[in-house]
């Protein structure tokens, strides 16, 4: 069983009726509903309005993959929570930051760069699968279209990804590395660009399937953290006399 924790800022859905219409129970519940249909995936939820943002050390220790959606309140997530999550990711937990989570404290801490990009509302996106042999691309067509999506454009200030699985092309002319992987310590990370709150992007079957594939790819074989220790051991054998 893969234990997934979906964290959502959960503000737009409560403040903007047009967003609530698309996601009446929140973006997290919409993604979770799809993932829960897989009997090998167990989903829990957390949001900014919960105590400690709904995140505890115990909960993270029982989590295999953390999905994150944030936009307007990145700074409301405490540095303590960011450290808790980053430590667990380094210790082996998978991490899937979505859309505007490129500017979350957690993703920026893991990248060590600004994670800045170009953006513009109201565009059309064609997502190209540029690594069809990757597990996250399983069952995904060569390309598919999102009729309405926010444009995210290059240059995207991230460290060179380990793999680029998807590229986005926008009708305004820009291109973007829309699906990229990283590793930090034992943790596998998949950043996925689609998901602007004003458009029904998480109702798209391919987008949901990619997130489900990413959950399976990012899940560690064992749940316990294996943090790399900083020690100064005695040598195992005699070296220099
Ligand atoms: Zn957006």
pLDDT in tens, 35-68: 999 999 999 999 999 999 999 999 999 999 999 9
Q: What is the distance in A from the centroid of ligand 1 to the CA of 68? A: 14
For each of the domains in the chain, give its residue range(s) and CATH number, in order of start: 2-113+179-218 (3.40.50.880)
Q: What is the distance in A from the centroid of ligand 1 to the CA of 69? A: 10
Q: What is the distance in A from the centroid of ligand 1 to the CA of 171? A: 17
Distance from C-alpha of 104 to C-alpha of 82, rounded to nearest angstrom = 9
Are 183 and 159 a contacting pair, CB within 8 Å? no
Residue 2, C-beta contacts closer than 8 angstroms, at least 6 positions apart: 40, 41, 42, 64, 65, 215, 216, 219
Residue 25, pLDDT > 90, answer yes
Please state, for a pLDDT cut of 90, what percent of the chain lies above it.
Answer: 92
Are 97 and 122 a contacting pair, CB within 8 Å? no
Q: What is the distance in A from the centroid of ligand 1 to the CA of 198? A: 8
Residue 226, pLDDT > 90, answer no
Least confident of 6-20, 21-35, 219-233: 219-233
Q: What is the distance in A from the centroid of ligand 1 to the CA of 38? A: 28
Q: What is the distance in A from the centroid of ligand 1 to the CA of 115? A: 14
Report pLDDT digits (tens) over 97-130. 999 999 999 999 999 999 999 999 999 999 999 9
Q: What is the distance in A from the centroid of ligand 1 to the CA of 20? A: 15
Q: Which two tokens stand for residue 111?
A: 């990248």
Q: What is the distance in A from the centroid of ligand 1 to the CA of 23? A: 14
**Residue ranges with CB less than 5 Å from ion ligand 1:** 100, 150, 196
Q: What is the distance in A from the centroid of ligand 1 to the CA of 71? A: 7
């Amino acid at each position: 069983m893969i234990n997934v924790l979906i964290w959502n800022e959960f503000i737009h859905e409560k403040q903007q009726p047009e967003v609530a219409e698309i996601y009446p129970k929140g973006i997290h519940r919409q993604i979770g509903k799809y993932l829960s249909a897989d009997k090998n995936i167990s989903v829990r939820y957390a949001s900014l309005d919960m105590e400690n943002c709904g995140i505890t050390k115990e909960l993270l220790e029982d989590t295999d993959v953390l999905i994150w959606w944030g936009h307007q309140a990145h700074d409301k997530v405490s540095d303590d929570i960011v450290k808790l999550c980053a430590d667990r990711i380094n210790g082996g937990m998978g991490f899937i930051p979505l859309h505007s989570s490129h500017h979350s404290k957690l993703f920026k801490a893991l990248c060590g760069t600004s994670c800045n990009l170009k953006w513009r509302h109201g565009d059309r996106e064609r997502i190209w699968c540029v690594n069809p042999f990757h597990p996250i691309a399983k069952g995904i067509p060569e390309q598919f279209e999102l009729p309405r999506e926010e444009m995210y454009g290059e240059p995207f200030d991230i460290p060179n990804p380990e793999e680029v699985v998807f590229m986005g092309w926008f009708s305004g002319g820009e291109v973007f590395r829309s699906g990229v992987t990283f590793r930090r310590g034992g943790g596998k990370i998949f950043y996925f660009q689609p998901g602007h709150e004003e458009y029904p992007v998480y109702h798209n079957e391919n987008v949901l399937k990619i997130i489900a594939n990413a959950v399976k790819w990012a899940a560690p074989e064992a749940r316990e953290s294996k943090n790399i220790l900083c020690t100064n051991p005695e040598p195992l054998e005699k070296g220099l006399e």
